[in-house]
Structure 1
Amino acid sequence: MDVTLARTFLTVAETGSFIDAARNMNVTQSTVSARIKSLEDLLGQPLFSRSHTGADLTVAGEQFRKHALALVRVWQHAQLEIGMSSQHRDHLAFGAPMSFWDSFLLKWVSWLRQSMPDIAVSASAGRAQLLTQRLVEGTLDLAIMYRPIQPPGLLIEHLFDEEIVLVTSTPVRTRRSSSDYLFIDWGSDFQQDHAAAYPELTTAGLHLDIGSAGINYILTNPATGYFPRRLVARHLSSGRLRQPSRARKFVYPVYMVYPEARDEEAYEPILAGLRKAAARLS
C-alpha cells in the first residue's frame, strides 16, 4: 500500500474534514477524496461517513486507524535506518515510559554511545501498550516497562524491582493535609493500588502526568507524593525530602522486552550493559 494513502487517512481522521486535511497536506480536496476512495476500494469498506459537518470514522475506520499508524511508523523507521546505514553499522530503536529516563536510561544511553559509537540510537518515551505494539510491528528493538504482556515472538526478562515511596517536603512539625498532596501517575497498576490504599486521595487537588519532572514541584513547594526511590534517594540523603513514618510503599517489577528472533551476537552486549545498569540501582 502507498504510505501516502495511510497518511491522508490519518490526517482526515485527525481533522474530521476533507477540506482541512487538504489544507494541512497542501493538496486539493479532490486529491484527498481520490486517495480515500482508493484506500476504501483496497480495503472493501467505507472508512468515513461524510456529512455537511465533516467526516467521521466508521467502525471499519476506527479499526484501520491503528494499522495506518503502524504503516506510517514502519515507513519512517525504514527511512531512518537506511539514512543512518552509511555512517553506522547498526541501529538500535528502544523505548520506555518517561519515568525510567532520569537516573537510569540516560546513563545507560551514555554508556552505549561511548562503548558502541558505531551503533546509531533512537529512543522514545511511551506507555507499555504502545511500546508493545511497536515491538510487534518491528519499529522498536527493545523496550523497558512494568509488568508487560507477552505477545508471541517477544521475550521478557526481569531487570529490577521498582520501589515507589512516599516523600514529603513539608516541615517536620507541619501537619500534612490533602491539599498538599501531589498525585503522580506511575502507570495503571500504581493507580489501582494507590486508590485501594488511599481512597480519600483519589480526588487530590493536583494530578500531574509528568513523571519524574514532578520532583521539581515537590522540591520547590511544600507537598507530599509518591516517587520511585531511585529518583529521590539523593534528596532523602541531603534532607531536602523525607519519608513519613509508617507510610506504605509499592513495589513493581521492571522488565526489558525484546524480539525472540534476533541477532544474538549483536544484541547480547547491549542487553548485558542494560543488566549492569539495572544492577547498580540495587
Structure 2
Amino acid sequence: MKTFLNVLAAESFVAAAERMFVTQSAISIRIQKLERELGQKLFNRSKSGVELTVYGAKFEQYARSSLQLWDQAVYQISLPDGFDSSLSLGCEDALWPELSANWMVELTRILPTTAFNFQVSTPSNLSSMLLLGVLDIAVIYNPEIRQGFRVEHILDDRLILVAGRKDHGGATSDDYIFTNWGAEFEMAHSRWYPDLKPPQLMMQVGAAIPKFLIDHGKAAFLPYRIADDYVASGQLHVVKDSPAFPFPAYAVWTENAPAELREPALDKLREAARNAPWIDIET
C-alpha cells in the first residue's frame, strides 16, 4: 500500500524509490506483485512519468483507507506507558483554530490517562474514517448521513464574502475565488448568482485561504469565525451588499468508542462550542 501511494504521490517509480530509500527495481517488483494480486494494471508508465489506470484510480481510496486503518490499529494496540485508553478525533481545518484546539486542551486535562490521536482532514475523508471505525468523533460542516452515524448540531456559523482590498467588486469580479464549502453552499451560491460564469480559480483549502486573499487582493466566501479576526484587524474587508449563507457545524460519531470516553468528549465539545470566540463585525 505504501509503495503504491508513494508512486502515486511522486508520479514516478524513480522518485518513489528515492523517497523510500530502495532501488527502482524493488518498487517495480512490489507494484507488479500488487497488480497480480488484484488482477488489474494500476499504472500506465511513459517517459514523462506514471499515471493511474481506471483500476488504479478505484484502488486509491481503498489503499489510503487501509493504510489509515493499519496506523490506527498500531496506535490502539501499542498505547504508550501511563495510558489505559485511547480516543481518535478529527475536524476540518477551518474548525481547528476557533473550536477544536480548545476542545483538545480540555480533553487532555479531564482524561489524563487517555491517549488522543487528532487528525485534521477533509469532510469526505473524516466521514470515511468514521465509517471504517478509524475515528471516534469528528467535527464537520457538511456531514454525510450514513447508517450508524450519530449527528448533533454543535455550532452556528455563516459564510461571508471577504476580500483582501476595500474596493473589491465581489463575486462578479475576475479575481473572485470560488471556495468549495460543500453541496449546500454550491446550490445557494448558484441561486444567488444564477448568471455567474465559472471563476478561473476554485479552491478547497479552508483556514489557509485568508493569507492568500490578503497577499493577492482577491475575494472569497469564508466562515465568519475564520474571517472575523482578519476583518477586525483591517487585513480583510467584507464586500458590501453581498449575501451571507448559513454554515452550521456538526459533531458526528459512532458507538464504537466506550461511553465513558465518548460522552465526556462530547460534553467538552459542546462546552468549547458555547465558548467559541465571536467578534462582531459589520457585514
TM-score, reference length from structure 1? 0.77
CA RMSD after TM alignment = 3.6
Aligned amino acid, residue 185 of structure 1: T
Q: Which stretch shifts more, 268-277 or 155-164? A: 155-164
How many corresponding residue pairs? 274
Are the aligned partners of 2:87 and 2:261 in contact in 1 as well (CA < 8 Å)? no
1:13 and 1:220 map into 2 onto residues whose CA distance is 32
1:60 and 1:248 map into 2 onto residues whose CA distance is 43
Residues 104 and 37 of structure 1: CA distance in aligned 2, closer, same or farther (over 3 Å):
same
Offset from partner CA, 1:223-281 (integer Å, 9 cap, x none): 76543333445676788877666542110232111113331122100011111222334
Question: Structure 2: any 5+ residue segments left out of the alignment?
Answer: 279-283
The answer on 1:187 being equivalent to 2:190 is no
Are the aligned partners of 1:182 and 1:208 in contact in 2 as well (CA < 8 Å)? no
Q: Secondary structure at the match of 2:72?
A: helix
Residues 114 and 222 of structure 1: CA distance in aligned 2, closer, same or farther (over 3 Å):
same
TM-aligned CA deviation for residue 115 of structure 1: 2.1
- State which structure, 1 or 2, has the greater radius of gyration over its C-alpha atoms: 1
Match among 151, 156, 163 for residue 151 of structure 2? 156
Q: Which stretch shifts more, 23-32 or 101-110? A: 23-32
Are the aligned partners of 1:181 and 1:225 in contact in 2 as well (CA < 8 Å)? no
What does residue 94 of structure 2 align with? 99
2:136 and 2:257 map into 1 onto residues whose CA distance is 9
What does residue 281 of structure 2 align with? none
TM-aligned CA deviation for residue 37 of structure 1: 3.2
Residues 85 and 243 of structure 1: CA distance in aligned 2, closer, same or farther (over 3 Å):
same
Aligned amino acid, residue 30 of structure 1: S
Q: Which stretch shifts more, 26-35 or 161-170? A: 161-170
1:89 and 1:111 map into 2 onto residues whose CA distance is 18
Aligned amino acid, residue 22 of structure 2: V
Q: Secondary structure at the match of 2:157?
A: strand
TM-aligned CA deviation for residue 108 of structure 1: 1.3
Are the aligned partners of 1:169 and 1:242 in contact in 2 as well (CA < 8 Å)? yes
1:46 and 1:177 map into 2 onto residues whose CA distance is 50
Offset from partner CA, 1:140-187 (integer Å, 9 cap, x none): 22111123222233222221332223456866xxx6534697647251
TM-score, reference length from structure 2? 0.77
Question: Structure 1: any 5+ residue segments left out of the alignment?
Answer: 1-5
2:8 and 2:236 map into 1 onto residues whose CA distance is 46
